[in-house]
Amino acid sequence: MNAQHHALHPGAPSLEHVRCLGVAVADSWTGDTIAAFLKRLIARVGRPAASLKDGGGDLRAAVACLEEQGMGSPCIDDMSHAVASMLKRSSQDHPTFETFVSACGRVSRHVKQTILACLAPPKVRTKARFMHVHRLFTWADQVLRLSPSGGAKSGSTLATLRACLEHLPACKALITRFCGDAAGLLACQQIVKTQGLSHATLAQCEPLLATMPSAALRQECRAYLVYELEIATTLGLDHIGLPISSDAIASLFGVAKRHGVGETQEASRMALRLPAFCGVPTHEEAQQVLEVSVARPREFTAQAPSLTRQRREVLGHPERLERLSLRQGDRHLEIMPPAKNRLNNPEIFYLSNSYEKIPGPQIRGMDETSPLENAALPGIREMALTS
């Protein structure tokens, strides 16, 4: 995405503001393999203004590897993941946290298929739980307000509700504190995601942070914002607004998962579609699509490994089952921008160069000499490489 996004567009970046510079598929990723892919990408499009990443350890290792090799760029930590990590550190060791989680599960089981089904807790996935766990605490706070102190008539709806809540009232202190902390963090997050991180948005966040009950969490969030603002200053974006959210990238993969599956869910099929789901097509690109024959996409995708094709082949011809083991060494799909000397490799596809025309002022302070300086295409230094 364009690092100057908040100078050019109102609101947070969305899919129309994202350009797909490269995609690769592998059985697994490590810091070294991610760094190797990024090196190949940098060799074609130049070093990005900054890297925007989530909290993944492999991504941190890849960024460190590039830094050691003189190809590093300022690294921005996505605010959603940063906030989730703060909430996790401040709450997961609380003595009643596990009690709270277990109580929510029991409430869910007790109220389903009953007259109280409308009060069932929201689902929160186990992986990356703290990205959405505030919804669970908000629900608990609202449900407990339905059960004020005092007696309840036997057989009444209130009595039924209290029987379902079980140990939830014992977690009231944790719920109140968490909701107060989450409210301040999420309000700051909304401001910064929409307007970018700048001196002005940091000033808007200060009174919101002051309302949070946990002093340690206030200090941690303030320190995070100040640190990221230093990066914005380095890039000359401290008065414009530094893009600090990877939501658009997450949305891109979410769209790909819905539209990029066949009989089996396969990464290569999704990867081939990613460039089409982001950015705004130009008139010339739309005209090119109208001129594409039905056979051309089939010819194009036939070069990539396909689980769907393998599935059809094996289920229709059981004697070909052993062939699957012979294909384990096949290279995976990789999509890269074209270089001056294109590789004659049928498993590497090339993206359009339309991203060269992205408008916007040049970023101040990015003109220093680097080993890959001459490899950059026009306008690429305005891009933020996102994970």
Task: Tell me the pLDDT tens digit for each residue of 181-235.
Answer: 999 999 999 999 999 999 999 999 999 999 999 999 999 999 999 999 999 999 9
In the block, residue with structure tokens 């089939």: 298
pTM (2 d.p.): 0.77
Report which DSSP code applies to 318: G
Kind and range of the H or E element at 52?
A: strand 50-53
Q: Residue 360 and residue 344: Cα distance in Å, rounded?
A: 34
Q: Does residue 108 have a pLDDT over 50?
A: yes
> Which two three-digit tokens encode residue 23?
């995609």
CA terminus-to-terminus distance, the chain: 11
* Most confident of the ranges 125-139, 176-190, 285-299, 312-326: 176-190
Q: Which amino acid is located at 176 in the chain?
A: T
* Whole-number Å distance between alpha carbons of 303 and 313: 16
Give the 3-state DSSP-derived string for 92-136, with helices as H, strands as E and coil as C.
CCCCCHHHHHHHHHHHHHHHCCCCCHHHCCCCCCCCCHHHCHHHH
pLDDT at 209: 95
- Taking the C-alpha atoms of residue 301 and residue 209, their distance in angstroms, rounded to an integer, is 51
pLDDT score, position 72: 84
Span 129-174, pLDDT tens digits: 788 889 999 999 999 999 887 777 888 888 889 888 888 999 999 9
CA dihedral 280→284→287→289, nearest 10 degrees, is: -60
Q: 3-state SS of the chain: helix, strand, coil percent to 5? A: 55, 5, 40
Would you state the pLDDT for residue 63?
86
Question: Can you list the alpha helix ranges (DSSP code H) found in 28-78?
Answer: 31-45, 57-68
Whether residue 299 is predicted with pLDDT greater than 80 in this model: the reply is no
> Can you give the residue ranges of every domain in the chain?
5-78+245-386, 94-214
Question: What is the C-alpha to C-alpha distance for residues 268 and 262, in angstroms, rounded to an integer?
Answer: 11
Spatial neighbors of 346 by CB under 8 A, at least 6 apart, are 303
Separation between Cα atoms, residue 309 and residue 251, nearest integer Å = 27
Tokens 């808007």 sit on residue: 204
Partner residues linked to 197 by β-bridges: 242
Q: Could you give phi then psi for residue 249, rounded to 5 degrees?
A: -70, -40
pLDDT of 259 reads 74
Going across the sheet that includes 23-24, the strands are 23-24, 334-336, 348-350
Mean pLDDT of the chain: 80
Whole-number pLDDT of residue 304: 66
Exposure string over 72-111, b if 16+ CB within 10 A, otherwise e: ebbbbbbbbbbbbbbbbebbeeeebeeebeebbeebbebb
Looking at residue 127, what is its pLDDT?
67
240 within 8 A of 46, measured Cβ to Cβ: no
